[in-house]
Each structure stands twice: as structure tokens, then as C-alpha cells.
Amino acid sequence: MNRSKKDITLMSLNEIKNSLKEGKVTISVIGIGRIGLPTALSFANSGLPTTGVDVNAKLVSMINSQKYPLKDEPGFDKIFHNVIKKKKFHAVTEISKVVPDSDVVILSLPTPMNNENIPDYSALISVGKNLNKLLSSKTVCPETANPGEILNDFKKLPRLVSAIDEKIIPIITEIYAHVFNVEIIPMPNCKTANAVKLTTNVFRDINIAFVNELALLFEKLGIDITTVIETAKRKYNFQPHFPGPGVGGPCLPVNSYQILNTSKNFNHDLLKIVQTARKINEDMPYHVIKLLADALNKVGKSVKNSTVTILGVSYKPNVRDIQLAPSGEIIKLLEQEKVNIKIFDPHFISTEIFSHKTENNLEDAVKGSDAVLLITGHREFRSINPDLFVDIMKSPVLVDCTGMIDPMSAKKSGVIFRGIGRGGT
Ligand SMILES: NC(=O)c1ccc[n+]([C@@H]2O[C@H](COP(=O)([O-])OP(=O)(O)OC[C@H]3O[C@@H](n4cnc5c(N)ncnc54)[C@H](O)[C@@H]3O)[C@@H](O)[C@H]2O)c1
């Protein structure tokens, strides 16, 4: 333990500023996954000696062998190689090896949900207990960011900082201002800072539920929702949200359940809108199967025992992540109908997803299928030519959950097309 160093919480702000400038504030980031690694790299890139700690020994060894692990997080690969070269960053598996010598400890640990939609804080609690033993007084901060766009967010979005002990707030503000060239907003306390994050994410969950319900109605009314949203966008106070096969990922559904579970401690009737939004979004996979059944019916087929190709399994475009992805629910529903499932996702080549082997390329995936379900709008699917479906499928049935296929050109090619909310097309 480095006892010669002055505790950062006992330093004046001027002393902290100087230590930051001289690169003497040492950082450890515990949990170097999707959020923790970009965070650690940002600290290291600002000149502060940073160590990543993770229980995943494979990840730690990959990092120490200079292999950048987050291929779908653009921009950080360059920073990664740069900070490793400058010896500002490395990774270890044991907390006890680095925490005692760190001035600031950042936790970026998984906070998933269990089967009852209750957040699982076990990783946080276990690390917290360890920290208790290792720390006398250290500054511990939380983190937020959007996968696939983390560098952009770190460069543009204001950062919220807070602390349990309010004396620490100016210290964290100073440290964050050194690392991130954006506005740093000190919040009155941690629960208010967290409420901002929950509010922005729950807002999206509710609004996606709203457009999902509109989509169901517009299909019946013969209205194309894409045309409606694109035009509504022209009004200054409308914020566009788009329908889809459900809402997944480690944030939106989890945050909605977090706020619902908290509200239940006070009043079971609070936040009914969030409950309803969750139900609507969780029911969307059933709607996808209905669209599929309807389209297959047009060619005299049923879902049962058919061969269906799934394009895209990630919970959102351009990331390699299937946490709570709607594709998982859709695959379960297809399995119940004994469907022969083929999967192609450019982020999951030659691997196994939801117990199904994935295909190596689009053509092999689509060839001989009765229908295609386009679930995730990865950029690689933007250039799909609908003629491909007509040429190599048993029946050219396409259900687009992403809104990225132009129904008119699909139909012109001879494709039997269904899309979420694409009434009247
Ligand atoms: N992914 C997102 O969209 C996102 C966005 C903003 C905030 N967050 C929050 O960031 C936090 C981290 O999420 P993530 O998406 O980076 O998760 P992740 O699963 O990608 O990374 C977490 C890392 O922690 C490691 N880990 C697990 N238990 C550990 C332990 N006991 N000790 C050390 N390491 C351990 C795992 O091996 C993994 O590498 C969560 O609280 C999440 O809510 C996530």
C-alpha cells in the first residue's frame, strides 16, 4: 500500500489540479466491459495512470496483449493502442493488487435483471464488500454512456457528477473536468443524478411504446407510420421515436423496472404509464410473429415447421450485444412452432446465439428459406437488394421490423412484404 501519498480527499482543489496536470492522480476502473473500458481509456488518455480490473481473465490477458476487445465501439481502438504504448493503461484480475494505490476507484459492473425483473446488484455488492476492506478513504464514481456511440457521447454530452459526501463533489468535478472536455454538472446528490439517467431512459421506453401502439393501429388503418413520423419530425416540439420488435439492451428495460420497483415501495399505483409501456414493448415479438404468419399465409404456408431466416440479433443496430434483445423472445416463439431457424448477424459470425449456429454470410442464410425476419437495422443490411429474396428463397416473404426496407421497391421485386406499422404500403 502506498502510504506516502496524500489522500486526495484531504487535498485542496489547487493541489488536486496540480496533481492532475502532473499525471499523479491514479485511477482504477473495476469492470472493464462496454462502459468501463472506454471510461478507463479516457482517464488514461488524459495522462492519468489507469488500471482496469476485471474478473474475466481472458479479457485481461487480451488487453495486456494489446488486442482491442470492443470492435463495435469506434474511435477507442486508437486511444487503446496509444495509452498502452505510453504505459498509462494495463489490466489485472485482482482488486487487491491496485485499489490500495489508487486515488480514485470507478465501478462499472454489470447490473442486470433477474427473471422477476428485479435488478441484480450482486457484482456491485461483492466488489463493495471487498473495497470496504481495502479502502481507508477513496473517491468512488458512477458512469453513463450509449453503446456504439460512447466516444461521441464522451466528447459532446455534459457529465453529471455527485457524491454521498457533498465535500467530494468539487473534487470529482475537478477530476472529470480534467478528463472530459464537456460541461460537468454537479448534482445535489447521487439519487438526483441517477434520477436524470432514469428519466431520459424511461422517457424513451414510454415513447417507443406509444409509436408501437400507433404502428398496430396504422397497420389496420392503412397508414404508413414512417411517413407520419418523418413528417411529424418537422414540427419543432416533436421528438421522433420509431416502432420496432421490442425494447432490449442493458439500460431501457432495466431502468423502467428499476423505477417501477422503487415506486412500489410507496404506492403500487404510481407510474402506471411505465408499466403499460413495458407491457406494450414486451408484446411486440408476438406482433412480429403475427405479421410473419400473415405474410406466409399469402403464399399458402404457415409458420409451423417453416424455415425462417433471422437477420440481426443485437438489441440495436451496429453493436454486438444481445442483452434482453427482442430477437431472443422472437426465437423462443418460433421454436414453439418448430420452425427451422437460420441466423445471420454481421456481429455474430460463426458462433452460437440463443442455442442456434449462426450463418457466415447473407446469401447462405437466406437461401432456401420460406421467410426472412429483418430484426436489427445493422448498417450492413442497408444495401440489401430485395431481388436477392426473390432469386434464392423458397418463397420471398419478408417481415421488416426496422423500417429500413422500402416497401414499394420490395413489392416491385415480387417480395411479399410486411413491416411494423407499414399500413397502406
Ligand atoms: N451498456 C450500456 O448500455 C450502459 C450504458 C450506460 C451505463 N451502463 C451501466 O454501466 C455498468 C456496466 O455495464 P456494462 O454494459 O459495461 O457491462 P459489461 O457486462 O459490458 O461489463 C461489466 C464488466 O464487469 C466485469 N465484472 C463482473 N463482476 C466483476 C467483479 N466482481 N469484479 C470485477 N469485474 C467484474 C465483467 O467481467 C465485465 O467485463 C452497469 O451498471 C450499466 O448499467 C451501461
Per residue in 287-342, pLDDT tens? 999 999 999 999 999 999 999 999 999 999 999 999 999 999 999 999 999 999 99
When pLDDT is averaged across residues 74-84 and rounded to a whole number, the result is 96
Q: Which residues contact 229 (CB under 8 A, 6 or more apart)?
A: 211, 240, 241, 242
Percent of the chain with pLDDT over 70: 97
100, pLDDT greater than 50? yes
Q: How much distance in Å is there from the Cα of 129 to the middle of ligand 1?
A: 17
d(CA 249, CA 22): 39
Q: How much distance in Å is there from the Cα of 33 to the middle of ligand 1?
A: 5
Task: Enumerate residues lining ligand 1, CB below 6 A.
Answer: 30-36, 53-56, 59, 108-111, 123, 126-127, 143-145, 147, 249-251
Summarised one tens digit per residue, pLDDT across range 395-418 is 999 999 999 999 999 999 999 999
Phi, psi of 163, deg, nearest 5: -160, 155
Q: What is the pLDDT of residue 140?
A: 60
Supply the residue whose CA is at minimum distance from atom 26 of ligand 1.
31
Summarised one tens digit per residue, pLDDT across range 48-63 is 999 999 999 999 999 9
Q: What is the pLDDT of residue 142?
A: 52
Q: How much distance in Å is there from the Cα of 31 to the middle of ligand 1?
A: 6
Q: How much distance in Å is there from the Cα of 250 to the middle of ligand 1?
A: 9
Q: Cell numbers for 27, please give them.
A: 485511477
Atom of ligand 1 lying closest to residue 36 CA = 16
When pLDDT is averaged across residues 253-279 and rounded to a whole number, the result is 93
Of 253, 245, 248, 283, give the one whose Cα is nearest residue 403: 245
139, pLDDT greater than 70? no
Q: How much distance in Å is there from the Cα of 30 to the middle of ligand 1?
A: 9
pTM of the shown model: 0.93
Q: What is the pLDDT of residue 287?
A: 98
Q: Cell numbers for 240, please give them.
A: 421522433
Atom of ligand 1 lying closest to residue 37 CA = 16
Q: What is the pLDDT of residue 1?
A: 44
